[in-house]
Structures are given as structure tokens and as C-alpha cells.
Amino acid sequence: MMIVTQSTIYILLLAANAVLLGAAVLAILRFQRRCRQIETFWTSPTGAAVSDEVSGAAPRDPAYDPQLERRVAELQSVVRTLARRSTEAAAPTPAALPLDKAVRMAKRGATVEQLMSTCGLNVGEARLMRKLHSGRRGAPHAA
């Protein structure tokens, strides 16, 4: 059986405290490094792009562009609106079908008269449909 003296206990406690102190210092250093990494990410363009916050102050990044930031915010709003509409969208209404048919016919090269008679378009609508959707931009249009 081993006899443990009071001085041996003090030495063991001192060694244990030194180990714990070293572990704490390492943990603090790792924590500081991780904080710097997170700060670097959120001040980068990627972090700004994924952030939902709109801060009043410009980031420290020299490549920061307020117009680009505004445009990205507008585009995010448009994407949210389109996503909302796509979930609400139903089958096309019967009134929209003649226009779809007119677009297909104009892409195939239908004349203004054909668009008017088949799809029920007036002259201006038929000319516009042909101008927008025909492959020939400079082709003469029949009146």
C-alpha cells in the first residue's frame, strides 16, 4: 500500500490545474479564431447575399455597392412574389387559350388574316402578335 503525503496531493492538484488552464487557453484561442471566421463570412459578398437583414451601415468590404444591394433586394422580392403566384396559379382560363394559339400560329408564320379569323383578334392585335412572335422581323405583314 502506498502512502500519499500531503505534498504529493498538492503536486497532483497543481498539475491538474495546469492541465485545465492549458485546455481553457486552447478553447479560448479556438473560439476567437472561429469568431474571426464567422465575421469574415458575414462581411463578405456571399454573407451579405444570404443575409435577410438590411443594415443601414455599409459593410467594411471595399467591393460593397449600394445599387447592387438594392437590386438584389428587389430581385428577392420578385422571386418571393413569383413563388407565391406559382403556388396560387391554377389551370389557364379559357379566355387565355386563343392567345396561346395565336402565339403558336404566329411562330409558325401565320398571316394577319389567319390570326384574325382563327383566334378572333382585331387587326392591331394580329399585327402585334405577328411582329412579336414571328421569326421574320423584316417580313411584310398582310393587312
- pLDDT at res. 143: 44
- pLDDT at res. 60: 59
- pLDDT at res. 85: 84
Going from the C-alpha of 76 to that of each of 72, 73, 81, 87, the distances in angstroms are: 6, 5, 9, 17
- State the cell numbers at 51: 443575409
- pLDDT at res. 16: 97
91, 102 contact by CB (below 8 A): no
Digitized pLDDT (tens) for each residue of the chain, 143 residues in all: 567 799 999 999 999 999 999 999 999 999 999 999 999 988 888 877 777 665 555 555 666 778 888 888 899 999 988 888 887 765 555 555 668 888 888 899 889 898 888 888 888 888 888 888 877 654 455 44
119 Cβ neighbours under 8 A, 6+ residues apart: 98, 99, 101, 102, 105, 126
- Give the SS3 label for residue 95: coil
- pLDDT at res. 53: 64
- pLDDT at res. 119: 85
